[in-house]
């Protein structure tokens, strides 16, 4: 059996990044202007400002994505985490989340945040199992977001 591998984004994967993310966004919500910009131009929206994108590949096919978007120096938003529903049960979401956390640690991020919605129960369960904790949500970031979480990158810091 082939393993799911986590790889770094390359521009050749932009159509996969867009396709996978549009599929879940359209299934649950409407695509907001910021989504369209990030999905159509990930190099400009995520990579150029210093962010990173990871992809899950299985049997040669891109089946999942996650991105770390720079919010401000040292602060990253974990965003655009999705998995092709055909591949449920392979632990892809867990692997992507864990890889994003490790990436944030490796670049010495100060904070790792995410915004989500309570409708995405499976995703929230993954985030909590990985160690994310709920924090207060400021209004107006995303129309669909009603949950904000943070991963304690420096749990011993005061």
Of 71-80, 97-106, 149-158, least confident by mean pLDDT is 149-158
pTM: 0.92
Starting at the earlier edge strand, list the strands of the sheet with 75-83. 5-8, 52-58, 61-72, 75-83, 111-116, 147-151, 133-135
Q: Determine the average pLDDT of the residues in 19-29.
A: 92
Average pLDDT, the chain: 93
At residue 156 the predicted structure's pLDDT band, cuts being 50, 70 and 90, is low
3 or 156, which is more confident: 3
At residue 154 the predicted structure's pLDDT band, cuts being 50, 70 and 90, is confident
Instruction: Identify the CATH assignment for 5-151 out of 3.40.50.300, 1.20.1740.10, 3.40.630.30, 3.40.50.720.
Output: 3.40.630.30
Q: Judge whether 78 and 65 are in contact, CB under 8 Å.
A: no
Residue ranges per structural domain of the chain: 5-151
At residue 157 the predicted structure's pLDDT band, cuts being 50, 70 and 90, is low
Please give the pLDDT value at position 158: 47
At residue 40 the predicted structure's pLDDT band, cuts being 50, 70 and 90, is very high
Q: Determine the average pLDDT of the residues in 20-48.
A: 93
Our CA dihedral for 18, 82, 8, 109, rounded to 10 degrees, sits at: 120
Q: Determine the average pLDDT of the residues in 41-57.
A: 97
What residues does 5 pair with on adjacent strands?
A: 57
Q: 3-class SS at 80?
A: strand
């Amino acid at each position: 059996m082939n393993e799911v591998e986590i790889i770094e984004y390359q521009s050749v994967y932009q159509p996969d990044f867009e396709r996978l993310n549009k599929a879940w966004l359209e299934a649950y919500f409407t695509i907001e202007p910021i989504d369209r910009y990030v999905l159509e131009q990930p190099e400009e929206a995520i990579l150029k400002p210093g962010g990173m994108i990871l992809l899950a590949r299985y049997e040669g096919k891109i089946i999942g994505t996650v991105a770390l978007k720079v919010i401000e120096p040292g602060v990253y938003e974990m965003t655009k985490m999705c998995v092709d529903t055909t591949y449920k049960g392979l632990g892809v979401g867990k692997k992507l989340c864990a890889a994003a956390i490790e990436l944030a640690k490796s670049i010495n991020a100060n904070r790792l945040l995410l915004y989500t919605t309570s409708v995405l129960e499976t995703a929230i369960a993954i985030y909590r199992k990985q160690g994310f904790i709920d924090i207060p949500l400021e209004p107006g970031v995303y129309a669909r977001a009603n949950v904000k979480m943070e991963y304690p990158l420096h749990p011993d810091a005061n």
